[in-house]
Structure 1
Amino acid sequence: MEMTLTKVHGSMNTFYMFESDEREDFAQLAIRLSALDPDIDGILVILPSAVAHAKMRVFNNDGSEASMCGNGLRCVARYVCERDRVQEAVIETLKALLRVKKEETLNEGIETYAVEIAPVSFSLSSLPMKYGDNSEWIHQALPFVSEKIPFSAVAVPNPHLIGIVPQEMQKDPSHQQKWAQYFNGENEYFSDGVNVSYVTPMENGIFVRTYERGVGFTNACGTAMTASALVSCMAELVPYGDVAVYNPGGMVKCSVSKQGDDIQLQLTGNATYLSVVKFDWSNNAEESSILSSESLEEQAFYEKFVGNISNLSKQFV
């Protein structure tokens, strides 16, 4: 069966995106496409929804399904808004109905969308995470990992463990890699694995590097960046409101509002189309192949944008 895929990215978190009805082989498709194209982090599937403009499912490159993907949701938001000729829409995800909308461009030639990130939970059972008799873990060291790194655990709804670290630990990610691989293997703390982010405050925002569950180190993870912005506000590293979040793939804006227990999060950034791909999906996955790829011109605008901000983040990469 021949399929038309669009290769897309949000902050260089890269996917193949397509519209479909429900099928049982999306996981196998993600694994096969990732084998053919190591640049991608997975696939975004746009499905019909009875309660929203569309439904989004996200499959990582190892075939596991994510509850949500903030960078991918921006790309899906663009597709749905352009398809339905609307400026705002509601997208159904596995755990929430999320509002999305077209925004003013980050820079010339960059399609920009804002997406709601929800729900938010600090309950360790929602990740899940088990550590003694604790029900939450906010801005405290995990002594067996490091006495010096304050960690916070939060689900948005993807599970995240966020540590605030000095700049030198961003330059050398070996410590992060060691513990992220441990927490995403057989371990006593995270039965389903966890996204592990290291965060460092900057003069005008924060820098975030993420080891993503089911992916490994990624250029950016939308829910991780938003959760990191929330944790940074709670730790008084940055003020509540709009937080500039830099990452190896670029920069996004995370809006954080907290009144009592009510937390509102929004992620704004690029939704860039890289190419249109023809793919032959065979019943025998090994015989499936990419037939053709037509590059689009949007990436040049994004690279210009990244070039303009590279001096701010190059100290971390």
Structure 2
Amino acid sequence: MGFSEVLENYENSDRGRVTIQVRDHQGQTNLFSISDHQRCLESTGLSAEKSASISHEIYQQLIDDGRYKIDSNDLGMLTYSELKNNFGTEAARRYMVWVDYTHSGRPLILLFGGTTGCGKSTIATEVAHRLGIVRTQSTDMLREVMRMMIPERLLPILHTSSFNAWRLLPGQNEQTDGNESLMISGYLNQTELLSVPCEAVIQRALRERVSLILEGIHVHPALIGKISDNSDAVIVPIMLAVIKPDQLKRQLSGRGISAPARGSQKYLSEFDSIWSLQSFLLSESDLSGTPIINNDDKDKATNRIMRTIIDALSENCDASVKSVFAQRSDKTV
């Protein structure tokens, strides 16, 4: 099939589909989008399959009832009822909490930490897509900027991998046999250097009241303690983990395929250090109460993260179903 045929099929795919207009609180109308509605449901931690079934069911129900125009709050209430009837009170409650949050205008700051190769960037990209978050920042990129600004001879510990930073601590060298304590000390030293630009990125997002995902190995649980608490932002720290050594090795090997310049062999040769660093980060997360998400499967891990976010939002949600869906918002359809 040629490009012109593919394009024609795409353009014709929605022909004949009955449109439904959704009216927001300002009286403006937008067409009901099954895909947008589904993505909203996925934001609550509902699986893609369940979200799709609800979105299509609601669309068909509106068509069958001849409701070609609907207020956004009525659509929200209908969605809540369908979730409750099909998947229970908890699924409906998560949706209500998410809609209440979208009405609030509060920024969402997500902090994803984890050892090398645990899938932080991949998960961050998926979460950003689901939640419609435009700003994402990797601590690796912040480190690269700092490396350009500060030469290696002035700050050598900045110019190496976080799990090898211990080799550049005072009194150490390439021939020194490291141990877990030294490795952790080197990591913390480099992380402390990166905490300054990390804080700057977060503080700017707070000032501008925009949502942000900050991800990277330097997102240590202590970082949240350095963030100003005079904002109404919702800050959710999450530590990603791969708890099976063989799976983490496979993911490290995959780096050599998806990003050849990163060289998987380098990471595999340092696997013991990478694994020890993960153990340390998980221990620190336990002590600080940071949620730990096992990234054994991308979709499952993403859904777990969504539910963790909803749990965090629930802590400040005392709204009722009636009050939430009486707020005519065009942010959730």
Which has the larger share of strand?
Answer: 1
Q: TM-score, normalised by structure 2?
A: 0.27
Question: Where is the helix percentage greater, Structure 1 or Structure 2?
Answer: 2
Rg (Cα) greater in structure: 2
